[in-house]
Structure 1
């Protein structure tokens, strides 16, 4: 197994305590297994049903949060269906244990490629790591497992990474990749007036090319390139905690775009056990709003019919608990459902090539066109 060459620093006392707790939590799991074997019983691991909405409660100040009395499932070592997963969980627990002991780090991708035949797919590793984090009640980043970052950031922002590298995100044609260890960044400096989360990389790059970060007022732009990875969500939350400036989202006017915005704002069911570290309920929906389609008289040939899958996703989202406290969101979803037409942000180019940066965003930000 090859570890990633992330910077290793002397552990401070509080990190030693955290690492000691992680090692202790893993040792408790192994102790239970050994005890079961000593009693001639097949060992069992108990995991939370992370995809069960019945385990979730909604709090306006936090988002989707896992309840304390959650339902669980048993991973039995003597069951042909669950025994392989039982073995893989122990394998990854052993990897985590060694990394915590040695103060080294690896990405989920590193773990997968250490034995691709054993794990089968990257998604298997991803799910098991999240199951372990939830089972141990320890944030994944504290387990010394990092994600391969896909998100980008640009604009009026500078900070220092954990290894002392100074990063300047001054807006240019090239954005900065979201750091792999968001928890370790410090000395955050910005004069930005707001943060804009952009759904797609293509739109993000177009705004960079138009020098949007500097034209209206200094701002920070972030993209998760679709569904955001954990590091991008952590960075949005860290900037909110540090800067206390408004955060807006720019998404496609379709169910997928709305769902991505909800992940940033209220979190996801599968990661609800970490909601306090990942969600930013103060995020506002700037656009593209379904009501904008008719208001701006966007041409019909720039619109796309909702697929059956889109309609099913939208109907499911309309039943989610956070929609009840967002009447304007509910209205926008009803407009989308009634029209049965969706629009990508790029549809604004049917009005003019630079309409997004020159007209749409400035007017929205100056006159409060968000919900």
Structure 2
């Protein structure tokens, strides 16, 4: 344990690799022209007015207005970069949302409606949640999912990060450990004083004055494991460190918060997920992003995230009992085949080897399977040894 609390801990981290990633990230941002600073309110207003102007010009010519939106759901519009992750290509395919087509007229109207909501919010410098927008006119929108999808479409269409549109989402992720920050309203948050963690703020962009002595960040897939590590005083015994959980598939606030930690402190970030295709994909979302949000990859991905566990090779190495393992379902095997074809796996030979082990054994294991070795094996043996001896890929 003392090793983890000494400067020698960093000798175990590939600092050269991380410095290189930071340098490449900077170059990528400059080359791609990505705005690293928050978009101003006037820029948002001008972008919306440009869309409205186009609609009015079409009407003045007695033409049906058409909105053009990038296709966010296809891999053909995605390119992979080691330094950024999954990002949308510049000349990607688009889809037309016509106002004179019965199949898309309602969608067109809803986009214009939410654009007007955003315009008013930005003008008045106020914020609303996605749920606020939905419940303002439930019958019109029909479902929360419709509102969520349209807001992302608007963000992509305007080429403006969603957080700059003044529409927030309710966070589900939690953070704990050696971290202090100030929220936008001036509230000072001390993350190590709450025994169950602190909810990640809805407006991560408004988080200021982040302070920490943490030597690493540990992303944890499940809330149950996150709580177990807190109960075992993992931060006190193996820290100082920061623990984060997105409680499964992470929301955008959790992903943006992890990226903000990386940008601010540039300390090692590890991922602890279930040894199954679903857990691996969750880690990939933090590290390389997702197809649907690839247009905002520069603000959300952290390519330096390392896969700490639970590795398929760990299952064999630790002799986890067969009774603690679960056979891969047909859906699991389909997901595994999909992962093996992802472009980032080709650039990670050690990852490819781990996926091959899972494919061969056709078994998966949850993090909790380590309790079959001992109730505190995860916090007292597995994680300390992994961190001390560099057991990540």
Which TM-score band applies after superposition, normalised by the shorter structure?
over 0.9
Asked if the contact 1:107/1:145 (under 8 Å) is kept, the reply is: yes
- 1:56-111 Cα offsets, whole Å, 9 max, x none, are 11110011111110100000111111111111101100100000011000111111
Whether the aligned pair in 2 keeps the contact of 1:26 and 1:93 (CA below 8 Å) is yes
Task: Indicate whether 1:287 and 2:309 are aligned.
Answer: yes
Whether the aligned pair in 2 keeps the contact of 1:157 and 1:189 (CA below 8 Å) is yes
Partner of 1:24: 46
CA shift digits 1:209-242 (9 cap, x unpaired)? 0010110221000000001011111110111111
The equivalent of 2:150 in structure 1 is: 128
Aligned to 1:354: 376
Aligned-partner SS, 2:45: helix
- 1:170 aligns to what SS in structure 2? helix
| Secondary structure of the structure 1 residue equivalent to 2:201 | coil
- Counterpart in 1 of 2:110? 88
Of residues 181, 188, 191 in structure 1, which corresponds to 2:203?
A: 181
Contact 1:172 1:209 in 2 (8 A): no
1:327 maps to 2:369:
no
The DSSP-based 3-state class of the residue aligned with 1:130 is helix
TM superposition outliers: structure 1 runs of 4+ over 4 Å: none
Please point out which of 64, 78, 82 is paired with 1:42: 64
Structure 1 alignment gaps of length 5 or more: 1-13
Tell me what 2:362 maps to. Answer: 340
Classify the secondary structure of the residue corresponding to 2:107: helix
**Aligned with 1:79 (options 91, 101, 105):** 101
Correspondences of 1:213-232 after superposition (within 5 Å):
213-232=235-254
Counterpart Cα distance in 2 of 1:329 and 1:171: 37
Structural mapping, 1:64-213, within 5 Å: 64-170=86-192, 172-213=194-235
Structure 2 length normalisation: TM-score? 0.89
Q: RMSD of the TM alignment (CA)?
A: 1.1
Secondary structure, aligned partner of 2:382: helix
In 1, the alpha carbon distance for the partners of 2:230 and 2:194 equals: 6
Note the C-alpha offset of 1:299.
1.1
Q: Distance in 1 between matches of 2:60 and 2:239?
A: 67
Q: Does 1:271 align with 2:298?
A: no
Aligned residues of 1:153 and 1:176 also touching (Cα < 8 A): yes
Normalising by structure 1, we get a TM-score of 0.95
Aligned equivalents of 2:386, 2:100: Cα separation in 1: 59
- Partners of 1:166 and 1:208 lie apart in 2 by 21
| Counterpart position of 2:33 | none
- 1:247 corresponds to: 269
